[in-house]
Amino acid sequence: MGSSEHVMGKDAKLALIVSDSAKAQDGAKALHDSHPWVSPQDADVLVVLGGDGFLLHVLHELLDRDTTKPVYGMNLGTIGFLMNGPLEDGETIAQRVADAHTVPVRPLCMNAVTQSGDRHSFYAFNEVSLLRETRQTAKIEVRINGRVRMEELAGDGILVATPVGSTAYNLSAHGPILPLGSRMVAMTPLNPFRPRRWKGAILPESAQVEFRILEPGKRPVAAVADQKEVRDVAIVRISATAEKELTLLFDPGFTLEERIFAEQFQV
């Protein structure tokens, strides 16, 4: 999943999508008259102003609408790991987009069954996490490709992260950073109590992951796919979905791949 050369021309039709934050709204005012914007439906590229959370929101909306238009994010929010910097003096948004490199991103698909038998399906570009709902330690059985790999993980929970999401919650939980193009996912425990020394695993993207909640009545667990939560889960199945691949655009010289490298050499 590495980046490629830029593919958009200066004549690409651009749509502006702005978060509700005051910073993003002010930035939109400055950009509004600098380019002949079109509606999102008519655009070749969506220019998103805000932070990482808003960008993820836009990506999920694209999935819901079964749309695959490239997205160029500009950081006017709190966190901007997935975003490009603001325009410098003399730059135009059309040139920025024309010079940008593409990075394909594949979401994870989470299929969750609750204790009452309800079924829910959501996508995650960053990670799917299982979290204990009460003070009681969660107990989770881990299966991969139908085979039990860990009979009982006791702790606060566990997550599965994409390469893009490996620098988010996964990194905070001391999980590994995955290079773009690795076609891998990271499985990382959250404050494990038993087995205490287990640090997690790196799995091929093709792996079929299944978590089964042990003692769910006493130790309830919630499953979260990016911003979507399902409480009181009994079984959670996770797999990568190549058919839902979307495209992010990044400025040359400081691509998402370069940012992932930089994260690994911070001191």
Instruction: For the chain, list the domains and their CATH numbers.
Output: 14-106+245-264 (3.40.50.10330), 108-242 (2.60.200.30)
Show the tokens assigned to 260. Answer: 């992932």
Q: Is 174 annotated as a binding residue?
A: no
Question: What does the pLDDT read at residue 10?
Answer: 74
Question: What does the pLDDT read at residue 79?
Answer: 67
| Enzyme catalytic residues | 52
Show the tokens assigned to 13. Answer: 């039709």
Question: What does the pLDDT read at residue 8?
Answer: 62
The secondary structure of residue 66, as a DSSP letter, is T
In a 3-state reduction of DSSP, which class is residue 181?
A: coil
Q: Is 126 annotated as a binding residue?
A: yes
Q: How far apart are CA 108 and CA 205, in angstroms?
A: 9
Q: Is 57 annotated as a binding residue?
A: yes
Measured in whole angstroms, how far is the alpha carbon of residue 256 from the centre of its chain?
A: 13
Q: How far apart are CA 159 and CA 15, in angstroms?
A: 34
Q: How confident is the prediction along the chain (267 residues), in pLDDT tens digits per residue?
A: 444 455 567 789 999 999 999 989 988 988 888 899 999 999 999 999 999 889 999 999 999 998 899 999 998 866 678 899 888 888 899 999 999 999 889 999 999 999 999 999 999 999 999 999 999 999 999 999 999 999 999 999 999 999 989 989 999 999 999 987 789 999 999 999 999 889 999 999 999 999 999 999 999 999 999 989 999 999 999 999 988 999 999 998 767 777 777 777 776
Show the tokens assigned to 186. Answer: 């990271």
